[in-house]
Amino acid sequence: MTLQPAPIRAVPVPLLASPGRRRALRSLAAGMVDWVPTDRPRCDLDLLITGAMAPLTGFLGRADYESVCERMRLADGALWPMPITLDVPAEIARRLGPGEGLALREPSGALLGVLWIDDVWAPDLDAEAEAVFRTTSDAHPGVAHLRERTHPFYAGGRLEAVRRPFFPSFGRISPGPLEVRTEFARRGWNRIVAFHTRNPMHRAHFELTRQAAESVGAALLLHPVVGMTKPGDVDPVTRIRCYQALMHRYPTGRALMAAIPMAMRMSGPRDSLWNAILRATFGCTHYIVGRDHASPGPDHDGRPFYDPYEAQDILFRHEAETGIATVAFPALTYAPALDRYVPADELPAGAETRTVSGTELRSLLASGSDIPEWITFPEVAAVLRSAQRQAAASNG
- Residues that are catalytic: 197-199
Beta-carbon-side half-sphere exposure of residue 221 (alpha carbons within 13 Å): 31
What pLDDT band is residue 3 in, cutting at 50, 70 and 90? very low
| 83 found inside a domain | yes
Last residue of a domain, one of 116, 143, 161: 161
Last residue of a domain, one of 311, 330, 349: 330
Q: What are the pLDDT digits (tens) for 97-128?
A: 999 999 999 999 999 999 999 999 999 999 99
Percent over 90 (pLDDT), the chain: 78
Let me know whether 188 and 66 are in one domain: no
| 143 found inside a domain | yes
Residue 173: pLDDT over 90 = no
| 362 found inside a domain | no
Last residue of a domain, one of 273, 302, 330: 330
Let me know whether 29 and 85 are in one domain: yes
List 40's β-bridge partners, or say none.
none
Q: What angle do CA 170, 175, 177 make, to 5 degrees?
A: 145
Q: What are the pLDDT digits (tens) for 328-385?
A: 987 788 999 888 898 878 887 888 998 877 777 878 877 888 888 999 999 999 999 8
Residue-range definition of the domain harbouring residue 88: 19-161
Let me know whether 40 and 130 are in one domain: yes
Q: What is the pTM of this model?
A: 0.93
Let me know whether 178 and 152 are in one domain: no
| 369 found inside a domain | no
| 345 found inside a domain | no
Torsion from C-alpha of 190, 194, 200, 201, nearest 10 degrees: -60
In total, how many domains does the chain have? 2
User: Cα(255)–Cα(269) distance, rounded to whole angstroms?
Assistant: 26
| 348 found inside a domain | no
* CATH number, domain with residue 110: 3.10.400.10
Let me know whether 144 and 289 are in one domain: no
What is 285-322 written as a DSSP string?
Answer: SEEEE-TTTT---B-TTS-BSS-TTHHHHHHHHTHHHH
Mean pLDDT of 161-175: 84
